[in-house]
Structure 1
Amino acid sequence: MSSLPRRLAAAIGLTALIAAGSTLGASAAQATTVPDLAQHVAVPAYIPPSDTTSWNSINSSSSQLGFVVVNVANGPGSVVDSTWQSTIAAAHAHGEKVLGYVDSGYFGASTPARQTVLGDTDSTSWTVQAEQDINRWYSYYGSNIDGIFMDDGMNTCGPTAGSNTYADLYAHLNQYIHTNHPGSLTVVNPGISVPSCYAQAADIIVSFEGSATDYLNPTAAEAPETWQLNADPDKFWNIVYGVDQTNLTAVMNQSKIDNSGYIYATPDTLPNPYDTAPTGTLWAQELAATAATATTVPATPAKPTANTPYSTGVDLSWASGSPSVAGYEVYRDGTDVGEIGNATPSATQWTDNGLSPSTTYSYTVRARGYDGVLSASSPALSVTTDSAWGATPSAPSTLTSSNLSANGTQLAWGASTSRNDTIASYDVSVNGAVQLSLQGDITSVHLGELTPGTSYTFSVVAHGDSGTTSAASNGVTVTTPSPTPITGAAAALTSTNAHFQAQYNLAYNFQNVFIDTDQNAGTGYQVDGIGADYLIENGALYRNTNDTNAWDWTPVALSSGPLTSSAGGLYEWDVPTSAFTTAPTALNVVFDGSGNSTEYLAGPLTASL
């Protein structure tokens, strides 16, 4: 079963985040002349695989289509979805880069704080969940996944002026992806302009997400910042909904003026503007508008030079090209590992981190013009990293497991030390395979995404700044319990209120209640023998839009609720009967848990007056 696709949302805690940290800087005055900028369309494809019209439109597009973002169940889900597997493979086969959706949860810094599936709100737990979701995408869908989209990005550098804490958290995930999956494309979505501290947070930044009206009439916070206007256009993606034939040209022109190398303009609208793709004339015009008229090939860059390499990285530089060069692509051993804007008139510099000590690498650079044309590759530079000079760290001590549940456990260990080196990171292995890479000041994690009734062995190693690696900690073995996923399901109906409750014993992204109000299994979304006219998903109520067996739901506004409590996994909801189109005399109900853990249905059961 598909879940309600998540909207690529600007931060729900956006106001709180701006108030807590540094505010956005003033934007530069923008040019009104539309530059001859080559762009690519990128699609947030939160589109059910069953919508073949939309997917055919995407897959029959020209080379102007850059990438698509896919979202199985607010992430990769708990198992390989064969339907999505075919859809992802087909998109990849058509030459599109496919990016998997990962929720960063604002690292728990929004107001109210977002919870991980295990119920935590701290930044370390969100980092752990994000890294595990990244692992699942590549494990489930293999080489058909070309990168990761990190949603719910924050828009301030840190919680206080002068702090880069928030930006550094995204930079850590960005490095984690690039280290473990070289050549992957990364995107972070603040949905609004951000300060330059986010330059290393991802390869691409969603610097606008909103309506066409707001895009063409931006507030000061929505307008691009000075550094964006001067940076590589391929660093930015603008997402605009509510676009039609009357404003498409204005939107596409504005995206070029805003120096956005990636654009998506859709006629779809809220509450979910990403559950269909544009088709027909508007889609063809959008794709065509991304092309540039010039086709000048930039001059081949000179051979890059390197400062003395260190054990885990190297600083490269090369002579910058003419102002007609938009940016450069850097290749390590033939793999595109990064892009950077043209630094004319000074030298352009780029740092490659996460390398192995005493290892030889080959680097080349290609220039890219504003018209999208690439130069030939520069002569190659061979670089050998320094040896790991630091003293080997001590092994992490006394690894323990506590708070064991069906889907998770708390791990803690004693910090490693080194005589002359700083502890840079810890790797956490599960059954012999590294699953997490964490900053060196973290010595406790709530590890999730475990399978009920399964034995796991955990260990930890430390890494020094110079590339040294400790011996492994002691191993800890646990067996997760295997409870019935949903118990105590119940429903009650009065003339004024419908009450639902169930104990969810596994960690799910979605706690759902399917409600059949007309007692007709042939109308509404069909699940487990009922025809659901309404759906409660987590804390929201939806009505089946066309009363058909389609995953198409319209939000129903309530003055409060419907979720009234979720303490200890016991979910309780109350819905006034006035929220239903017709006051029911009986309800057929199915409870459902999906996403992160294997889906489970409880019911059907009936509640009557």
Structure 2
Amino acid sequence: MEALGSTNRGSNSTGSGGDAGQQIAIASYINPLGDPASWERLLAYDTEKVSVLVANVMNDPDYAVDKDWESVIDQAASQGKKILGYVRTGYLGTGLRKLNKISTSGSSYMAPVSAVSFSMKAGQSVVPTIFTPICTHTSTIIRSANTPAHNYTVLNPGSPIAQCYEDTMDTLLTFESSYETYTNSFVPNDWTPKDPRKIWHIIYKVSQEQVAGVAALARSRHAGLLEISDDGQPNPYDTLPSEAYMKAVMDEVSGGKPSIGDPAKVTGSYVAGLPSNAVVSSSDYSSVTLTWSSVANALGYAVYKDGEQVLELPASLTRATIGMLDPGSSGITFEVRTILASSSGGSSRLISASTKSLPANGTIVNTGFTGDGDTVIYKADILVPYAFVRLFIGIKQELKVGFRLPVHGWPIDKAGVDDLGTQWHQVVNYLVEGNVFYSGFYEYTGTWNSESKANTEWSWSIGVAPQSQSGYTYMWNVPLAGTDAVASEYLIQGQGYAPINKVCMGTLYMYSTF
């Protein structure tokens, strides 16, 4: 274990004060509707100390603006804080669609977010020679956007990263784990950044007494951006530490502004019809993939859908997946254009494409479960790339003929209303949420019932319900031993893709609020 001291408080290895001081960057995954008080505190903090916030609206920008998030984002941006919009890059697959979408559509897609954070999963197998030019190309376009807010970019592998990424983004988040890991098994980059503000470290499960030592240790590791929290897994970012804790952290940083690189000039012109051999290589319910051969001296490629540019790629890539398409569409026209230093050559050539039609029962199909008792395996085919896929499980609730008894659980909106025009709900009691890396199993311990609208959070940490995915098929292994859950009473929900979709299977009951 490294010694944790508090010497050189509030300074960086390159000096203190001004723009170069160590600052606080917070992954503020706090719902502004559910916890407005925390956002009031975040907005009140000195921008020189708390300079960066992450608006993780739904683990990616959604297709519609969330008014509650819009309000806090606007307020924070007006104070000079940088607000990062979170975007998962994926494995150069479906996540890359959103990375490219942001790079070419500017504020209409990201508005009103003022910066972009691209996330790579820790340990993700991405070849630097492929991913580095994508990062550089995308960051250049965002930095060059007409809207001044889109000029700060972050790449988040959450682990050490090769030096070839240093100039791809303004900041690299290279550590995201617990105090124990930070002090006992930290793995540094094998290079030193030109500016400490290039590196961001997140350390959670830190007691208030340990804050000063952790901040000093982060400075010695060239981390100019820092988040320290006493929260922990499975979600260390859903709450804000106490005011006393935040003051202790702010006392340890000198403050400043994030380092933002000058935008590179985008040169060249788009040449229609090159390359001439672009084809549709595959398609599914909501996306089409195009491939083509490389063109000599190309600066990059632009993809047009029905005459409108939707993607822009560096010259190293000759494959593009265009998502967010309507299922069952036909006659979609695409065109791949080459970016050259001059506008010579080429003629227009359109490519026709279509998407598969969804089955009659929607985007979540072939649902079912096997087993009973200790472990139940749930299965479903999810035909579009939702940001969130959740499994809810209910319990057996007593019903009496002629009576509406209070039903306890978490209410989920269900299509339709009762005779009084009241929204119907399905009532559930357990939640499985996560991904193939981590999937938690949660129990609702709040007070909601059908005679009250008072809700509280799900309790954290019953255990883990491993999740796997193969193609369209999702599977959850859920340990029901020791719970009052009824395996047959379940619901699978997809959210974060137009449209929101919910499917109900089993015998979950529906109740209206009164």
Corresponding residue number in structure 2 for 1:377 = none
Query: Which residue of 165, 171, 177 corresponds with 1:210?
Result: 177
Matched, 1:73 2:58: yes
Partner of 1:98: 83
Instruction: Decide whether the 8 Å contact of 1:543 with 1:555 is kept in 2.
Output: yes
Shift of 1:468: 4.5
* 8 Å CA contact 2:130, 2:316 repeated in 1: no
How far apart, CA to CA, are the structure 2 residues paired with 1:596 and 1:62?
36
Distance 1:581 1:587 in 2: 14
1:368-417 deviation digits (Å, cap 9, x = unpaired): xxxxxxxxxxxxxxxxxxxx8xx979722144335333310122345445
Change (3 A) 1:522 1:279: farther
Go from structure 1 to structure 2 and tell me whether the alpha carbon gap of 1:467 and 1:198 turns closer, same or farther (over 3 Å shift): farther
Name the residue aligned to 1:552: 458
1:243 aligned counterpart, secondary structure: coil
Once the 2 structures are TM-superposed, how far is the Cα of residue 502 of structure 1 from its aligned partner? 3.3
Could you say what secondary structure the match of 1:397 adopts?
coil
- Quick one: distance in 2 between partners of 1:85 and 1:33? 38
Which residue of the other structure, out of 123, 132, 139, is the alignment partner of 2:101?
Answer: 132
Tell me which amino acid in the other structure corresponds to 1:409.
V
Aligned equivalent of 2:422: none
Paired residues of 1:393 and 1:463 also in contact (CA < 8 A): no
Aligned positions of 1:304-319 closer than 5 A? none
1:524 to 394, 409, 414: 409
- CA distance in structure 1 between the partners assigned to 2:431 and 2:170 by the alignment: 37
- 1:202-601 pair list within 5 angstroms: 202-217=169-184, 219=186, 221-222=187-188, 225=190, 227-228=192-193, 231-291=194-254, 337-338=261-262, 353-356=264-267, 395-401=274-280, 403-417=282-296, 422-453=297-328, 456-464=332-340, 466=341, 468=343, 471=346, 473-483=348-358, 484-490=362-368, 494-519=372-397, 522-527=407-412, 528=414, 529-537=425-433, 538=435, 540-544=439-443, 546-547=445-446, 549-552=455-458, 554-557=460-463, 561=466, 563=468, 566-567=469-470, 569-578=472-481, 580-582=482-484, 584=485, 587-601=488-502
User: How many residue pairs align between the two structures?
Assistant: 462
Match of 1:177 in 2: 142
- Structure 1 residues 314-344: Cα deviation after superposition (integer angstroms, max 9, x where no partner): xxxxxxxxxxxx9997xxxxxx643xxxxxx
- CA 1:587/1:401 → structure 2, altered by over 3 Å: closer, same or farther? same
Give the whole-Å Cα distance in 2 for the aligned partners of 1:596 and 1:282: 37
Give the secondary-structure state (helix, strand or coil) at the position aligned to 1:72: coil
CA distance in 2, matches of 1:62, 1:546: 36
Counterpart Cα distance in 2 of 1:491 and 1:164: 42
The residue type equivalent to 2:116 in the other structure is I
In 2, Cα distance between equivalents of 1:356 and 1:169: 17
CA distance in 1 between partners of 2:479 and 2:248 (Å)? 46
2-structure distance, mates of 1:535, 1:240: 27
Whether contact under 8 Å (1:462, 1:470) holds in the other structure is no
Q: In 1, are the aligned partners of 2:273 and 2:335 still within 8 Å (CA)?
A: no
2:36 aligns to what?
52
Find the partner of 1:42 among 18, 25, 48. Answer: 25
Q: Which of 106, 114, 118 is residue 146 of structure 1 equivalent to?
A: 114
Q: CA offsets per residue over residues 445-473 of structure 1, 9 Å max, x none?
A: 23222233556432121012x35476564
Unpaired runs of at least 5, structure 2: 399-405, 415-424, 448-454, 510-514
Deviation at 1:85, TM superposition (A): 2.7
> Structure 1 residue 77: deviation in Å?
2.4
CA RMSD of aligned residues (A): 3.7
SS of the residue corresponding to residue 192 of structure 2 reads: helix
Letter in 2 for 1:84: W
Per the TM alignment, residue 242 of structure 1 is displaced from its structure 2 partner at its CA by: 1.6
